[in-house]
Amino acid sequence: MRMLEVLINADHVATLRDDGGVWSLSYTSGWRSSTTGYDLSPALPRARETIVDSSSYRPVQWFFDNLLPEEHARSLLANDARIEFADAFGLLGYYGSESAGAITLLEDLAQDQPDGLRPLTDARLSERIRNLPHSALTTGAPKRMSLAGAQHKLPVVIVGNALFEPEGSTPSTHILKPDHPLRELYDATAINEWFVMRLARVMNLAVPDVSFRRVPEAVYLIERFDRMRHGERLERIHVLDACQLLALDKSFKYHQATPETLLKILGLVRNVAQTRMQLFRWLVFNILVGNNDAHLKNLSFFMHPDACYLAPHYDLLCTAVYGDSAAPWLDAELVWKPDGVRTHGEVTRDSVLSLGEAIGVRGALGQRIIDELVPGTETQAKALLDQHVDGLSAGESRLVRRIVHGVIHDMTQRLRY
């Protein structure tokens, strides 16, 4: 039997076990009786003390496996650790000291974790970026760290304008992403995400602070919303993505992206009316900017003792711009599909309104939200491009212009009437 201790900040929350492939979670008596304690997720209630996976329903394994990266990023971490790609428990034990949200995983509670920061120079970061995709971005980092998702990411700490890597139990403050290493397929992804996230902020979507720098390679940085500062102390905040919230394996992140799933989410949050509008605005904005990667793992929620609340949005970028045709976004398949609509080129205002109706955003409210985002998104995108165009490389400028004058313009026309 393999075991890992589950901590949230300094609190010992539970013990995670793998017994011959059957995962279980046992809450500690202290966490169960704590007035500030809470369930790790709705499917992992403290009232049961111990939750054991079955052959067909595995809420424990699915919850913790969702903390690990996916696809090629996971393969690189597995190779670095000399652990099998499919051995999720082994990867959690190796990389669990820094993950999404508040959870840290230790093989031993007595494990020494001295705090500290190690400077991350531009030269060292540049070398790691140039070694992608053959080595993980975390290769050579002083701390074994894991973040969910398919992109290459590095948790860092920013002090002033300097980058550091956390050591021991020190939490990271930001997540860093370089350009996608397959530039011939996905060019200038760092500026793409920075631009769309800045645009989202202007359009009053709740998003964290983001920044962009060159080392000299382009890197995108986003402030972690799962961190809270108390004086000199930085505290981890428990968040879970929609797959974790609904006890879904990560493989369902696209397949279960349906209005019915959003209704299930709305049944779990405290401020239903506000969350309903926020989710519809998120859906409309993603259609306008051509974000076809807005799956369930790109929605997160704060988990509190009394309820859960929608977290700020993240991973907003234009994916529909990539392709060989003159206007690849028109053939790009939507993640959230209104009835009878499969691609961006088939979207109409009525189809988007029907998507809102399906999650309870009815009549004048849906019209008002669309009228707010259309044509405001295009107007603000042009202004943002004009403001920053001088700082872009030639390739970045071409990409952002294509997003603004191609994707956003075309989708604005489709949703205007």
pLDDT digits (tens, 9 = 90+) for 108-128: 886 656 788 999 999 999 999
Tens digits of per-residue pLDDT, 290-338? 999 999 999 999 998 878 999 999 999 999 999 877 778 999 999 999 8
Token pair for 143: 């701390």
Strands 2-8 and 11-19, bridge-based pairing: antiparallel
Paired with 50 in beta bridges are 26
Alpha helices in 203-258 (DSSP H): 242-245
| Residues 39/303, Cβ–Cβ less than 8 Å | yes
- Pick 299 or 136 by higher pLDDT: 299
The answer, yes or no, to whether the previous bond of 216 is cis (omega within 30 of 0) is yes
pLDDT reported for residue 332: 92
| Residues 1/18, Cβ–Cβ less than 8 Å | yes
pTM over 0.75: yes
Per DSSP, the three-state class of 212 is strand
Tens digits of per-residue pLDDT, 10-29? 899 999 999 999 999 999 99
- What whole-number distance in Å separates Cα of residue 14 and Cα of residue 6? 5
Confidence of residue 73 (pLDDT cuts 50, 70, 90): confident
Helices 272-289 and 409-416: crossing angle, nearest 10°? Answer: 120
Tens digits of per-residue pLDDT, 188-241? 999 999 999 999 999 999 999 999 999 999 999 999 999 998 777 888 999 999
pLDDT reported for residue 112: 59
Confidence of residue 33 (pLDDT cuts 50, 70, 90): very high
Confidence of residue 354 (pLDDT cuts 50, 70, 90): very high
| Residues 166/178, Cβ–Cβ less than 8 Å | no
Tell me 407's DSSP state. Answer: I
pLDDT reported for residue 79: 82
Token pair for 301: 């929620």
- What whole-number distance in Å separates Cα of residue 390 and Cα of residue 374? 27
With a pLDDT cut of 90, the percent of the chain lying above it is 74
Confidence of residue 378 (pLDDT cuts 50, 70, 90): very high
pLDDT reported for residue 182: 86
Token pair for 360: 């309870």
pLDDT reported for residue 111: 65
Give the number of other Cβ atoms within 10 Å of residue 54's Cβ: 8
Rounded alpha-carbon distances, angstroms, from residue 208 to 91, 129, 278, 415: 29, 24, 15, 27
Nearest to 241 by CA among 182, 177, 187, 295: 295
Which residues have a Cβ under 8 Å from the Cβ of 410 and sit 6 or more positions away? 327, 329, 330, 344
HSE value, Cβ hemisphere, 13 Å, CA-based, for 307: 12
Instruction: Calculate mean pLDDT across residues 124-150.
Output: 75
Computed over every residue of the chain, the mean pLDDT equals: 92
Confidence of residue 71 (pLDDT cuts 50, 70, 90): confident
| Residues 226/104, Cβ–Cβ less than 8 Å | no
Confidence of residue 150 (pLDDT cuts 50, 70, 90): low
- What whole-number distance in Å separates Cα of residue 359 and Cα of residue 372? 19
Token pair for 88: 């999720």
> 246-257 in b/e burial notation, b at 16+ Cβ within 10 A?
bbbebebbeebb
Whether 352 shows a pLDDT value over 70: the answer reads: yes
Q: Which of 99-103, 249-253, 274-278, 335-339 has the lowest mean pLDDT?
A: 99-103
| Residues 295/257, Cβ–Cβ less than 8 Å | yes
Whether 138 shows a pLDDT value over 90: the answer reads: no
Helices 189-202 and 272-289: crossing angle, nearest 10°? Answer: 130
Q: Which of 2-6, 208-212, 322-326, 372-376 has the lowest mean pLDDT?
A: 322-326
Q: Which of 12-16, 144-148, 183-187, 413-417 has the lowest mean pLDDT?
A: 144-148
Confidence of residue 288 (pLDDT cuts 50, 70, 90): very high
Q: Which of 48-52, 65-69, 209-213 has the lowest mean pLDDT?
A: 65-69
Token pair for 119: 């400077």
Query: What is the phi/psi pair of residue 288, to 5°?
Result: -65, -40
Alpha helices in 159-271 (DSSP H): 189-202, 242-245, 259-266
pLDDT reported for residue 40: 96
Whether 144 shows a pLDDT value over 70: the answer reads: no
| Residues 52/28, Cβ–Cβ less than 8 Å | no
- Domain residue ranges in the chain: 258-416
| Residues 330/410, Cβ–Cβ less than 8 Å | yes
Nearest to 303 by CA among 244, 382, 373: 244
- The CATH number assigned to the domain with range 258-416 reads 1.10.1070
pLDDT reported for residue 157: 95
3-state SS string over 176-195? Answer: EEECCCCCCCCCCHHHHHHH
